[in-house]
Every structure is written in C-alpha cells, then in structure tokens.
Structure 1
Amino acid sequence: MSHTAHIPSHRKPRRSASKLALRAGVAGGVLGTIAVAGAAGPASAEPVTETIEMPTLGSLGTDLSSAVAASAEASQQEALDQSLEAQEAAALEKAAKEAKKAKAEAERKAEAERAEKARQEAEAKAEAERAAAEARAEAQARAARDSARTQLATTSASSDSGSGSSSDAGSGSGSGSSDDGGSSAGSSESTQVSSGTAASIVAFARAQVGDAYVTGGTGPNSWDCSGLVQAAYAAAGIDLPRISYQQSSMGTSVSLSNLQPGDVLYWGSRSGSYHVAIYVGGGKYVGAQNSSTGVVERSLDWDPPSGAVRIL
C-alpha cells in the first residue's frame, strides 16, 4: 500500500457548474448595473468611490427557498380549501336528497294511513248497514213466527173445541145405536185429533225455518235437531225425550213410502240415531241441520233419512 494512502487531500472541492453559473450571473448583473449607471452620468462626474455590498449567494438561496415554500404552502392551502368546498357541496347535495326522500316517504305513509282509515270507515259503515239489515230481517222473521204461532194457537184451540163437540155427538148417537156404530165414531174422533195435532206440529216446525242452529239450542230463536222436534211436539201437547236417539225409539216404525205429516225422521239406526227431523208432507221435511244452514225445509232427496217413526 502507498505511504500516502491515509494522507488527506488538501485540494479544494470542485464547485458544481450550476453554482458557478449562478455566481457568474449575479456578478455580471451587478457589474452591468454599475456600468450603465456610469455611462448615464455626466462626463465630468466624479468617479464613484461608494462601495456596493454584493449580496451573498447564501441569502439568495434562503430567500428563494422561502418563496418556493410559501408558494407550495399556498397551493396546498388552496387545494385543501377546494377539497373542503367539494366535501361541503357533496354533503349538502346528499342532505337535500335524503330530505327529499324522507318527505316523499312521509307523504306516502300519510297517504297510506288516509287510505287505510277510509277503508276501515267504509268497512265499519258496511258492517253497520249489514247488521241493521240483519236486525230488520230478524225482526220481520220474528214477527212472522209470532203471527204463525198465534194462528197455530187459534187453530189448535178450534181443533180441540171441534174434537170435544164431535166426541159429545158421537157419545149421544152411540147410546141409541149398536156397538159397531160407537166404534166407528171413536175411530173418526181419533183420526180428527191426530190430524189436528199433526197440523200443529208441522205449523210450528215451519214457523222456525230460518232460525239459527246452535248445539243444545231449545229456542226460541236457535235450535239443534232434537230441540226443534221436542218443541214442535210440545206445542201440540206431547212430551218427547230431549235426545235424538231417544226420540227415534218412541212410537212405531213406519216405511219411508208410507209417511204422514208429523212423523219423526231419523238418520242412523233407530236406537242410535244422530239426527232427527219432522216430515211436513209433500216429500219434504223441516229440521235444524247445522250451523251453516240453520233450520231449513228440504226435500227428502236432498238428504234421505234412514227411517221414520210415528208417535201420534
């Protein structure tokens, strides 16, 4: 290794070309200014003896850096201001859209509430009108049933009076005639009483058509099947059991082809029937069917019974 390897160099560092050019330009500008000032003065002017202090390159660099930094800061501040303004504008626009949307939603809800209120009022009005119509119809039906029952009571009283007169007449004539004649009069009386009783039963049953069906109902405006049969027979002065299979076990069994008004029809077996009704003639019966139909008058073909009994 050379013995001069660790000796530091005494050579001055080389200045960069840009720094040399900058210094040369500054010096040239100052000298040019002095020359122009000398040329512009009078010829007899005294030589300039004032010393002009040259600005140092260090102060120029500091000023230049300060100016650049100030300019950058101003640009940054302006960009920041613009960004803030853009954000504020976007926020205002978003708030306006949300307010518009909220207003539209509020108007929609208000309109829906008004429509719902109008619908409820219309339903309430329709329900009130329907209830009023049903009440009027029920009042009319009740009046019709009351009239029919009054007429039925009058007819029954007339029948009982007629039966008593016939019985008395039959007894009187029987005292002066043979035993056969007395038997014939007794048979005629029996037929007349039975016919009047059957008419009363049929009239009562038909007067209840349109009433409601209620399980366990025994009137006056709602019935079940056995309750209606029991009440119809009670109107004619005949007591029947309350339960359908007990009613169908009463009297004597008759063929469906030999029915008479007032006969009790049953469905199921005679001793275990689950439904009963009253035959009213003309191939029809009256019965409390179910909660959907209530008390109706129907043809035997609509729901053929299993059998019939005659209690009269």
Structure 2
Amino acid sequence: MSHTAHIPSHRKPRRSASKLALRAGVAGGVLGTIAVAGAAGPANAEPVTETIEMPTLGSLDDGSGLASAVAASAEASQQEALDQSLQSQEDQALQKAAKDARTAKAEADRKAEAERAEKARAKAEQERKDAAARASRDNVRTQLTSTGGDSSGTGSSTNDAPTQAPSGAAAAIVAFARAQVGDAYVTGGTGPNSWDCSGLVQAAYRQANIDLPRISYQQSSMGTSVSLSNLQPGDILYWGSRSGSYHVAIYVGGGKYVGAQNSATGVVERSLDWDMPSGAVRLL
C-alpha cells in the first residue's frame, strides 16, 4: 500500500464544463478589450500599472437571481393575460350596448309609427263625424225652412214664428240666460261675469233647481231627445253627437238661442240659422 493512500485529496470540486466555459469567455473578452486598448495607445505610453478588478460570476452560481427572473416573467405573463381578459370584456360590453341601443331605437320608431297611425285614424273618424253632423244640420235647416205655411203657399221658418212666452221653470232658465248676454267667454268659466258654454247652461238650470253635469256631452246626454222643429223654451241645444257634443246652448224661443260661443263673441243671443245645432234635449 502507498504511504499516501490515506491522505485526503486537497483538490477543489470540479466545476461543470458550461460554467468553466462561461468564465473563460468572459475573462477572455475582458482581457482582449484591455489588449486592444493598449495596442491602440501611443507608442511612448507608460505601462499600465493600475490593478483592474474583474467582476466575479459568483452571482451566476446563485439560484436566487434566476428565480427572480422567472418570477418576473411569470408576473408579466399574468398581467398580459389579465389585460387581454379586460379588453375582451370591454369589447363585449360595447357590443351589448350597441345592440341594446339599436333595439331601443327600433321600439321607439315602432311606437311613434303606431301613434301616427292612431292620430290619423282619430282624425279621419272626427272628419267623418263632422261631415255627418253638417249633413244633419243641413237636413234640419231644410225641414225648418219648409215647415208651416199659409193659404198663399209661402213657407215660414221657426225663426219667423212669434216669440213664445215661457213659464215656470223654463221662464227662470231663459231669463237667467238672457241676462248674461254680453258677458265674456272664458274656457272653464262658471260666472258670474265669464262663462263657457256648459258653465252657462249649468248655472241657468240651477235657477230652476235642476243640477246638471259640468261637461257639455254629459248635459246633452240627459233628458229626452226632441226634434229641432218642435223646440220649447228652456230646451238644451247641442252641436256634435248627443253623447259626444262639443257645444251646448239654451233655446229661448222665437227661433233663437243664448249661448257662450267663443272668446271673440262672448255670450250671445242668435238665430238658429246663424249656427244650426245638431239636436236638442228636454229636461222640463
């Protein structure tokens, strides 16, 4: 046995080939740079005596630096994935908002078209009713003109008949109505110095202790329907349909009526021929 067999080896552990190559490459590159710098200097330059400390590569042997780099890379990847997810959510939200806006606009257009159609239908219906009312008034006017007569064969209208003398409740209604002639017309007016058509009729009938509704079409719906050729003082005249009248007045006899017409004329007493009513009702 050799006398050195039990002496432990003092050699350092071998480094891996890749680390040795890296060290040699770095060292060689640095030394090469110094050599080139020295060769490029002036010929009479003094020798460099300064000691240069080379950076050690010990940090490459430390696993913490590699772990930090890996962690940073992973964090960057996660952030990029998060950004992409947020962008996707924003795009989806914008698309949904645009779709909802288109749906809302389509619904609004549909409703607007339906409203226009309904207005057109209502206008056509009102024009039809107005035409029917005008035809009815023209027919009544013709009947009134041809009603009555004398031996000579000449006709006389209701307006040419002598003034009828009302009595009782009718007299009170007619007297009150005539007393308001000249007052102003005000929409919604109920007196004492300004009226609308139904407000005047309501107040006049109150003189006979008769309570009438406030609205014209409600007033014309009461009582019994009578012919315009058979009117009596105190009858309520109406314009339009009986259940849908838009104007009322009081027949005062002699082919005349008293009514709150409009803001231009106020309360007036006029002949039936001035504005032929559509019909009449009797409550007395």
Larger radius of gyration: 1
The higher relative CO (CA closer than 8 Å, separation ≥ 6) is in: 2
Question: Which interval holds the TM-score relative to the shorter structure?
Answer: 0.3 to 0.5
Superposition TM-score, scaled by structure 1 size: 0.39
Structure number having the greater helix percentage: 1
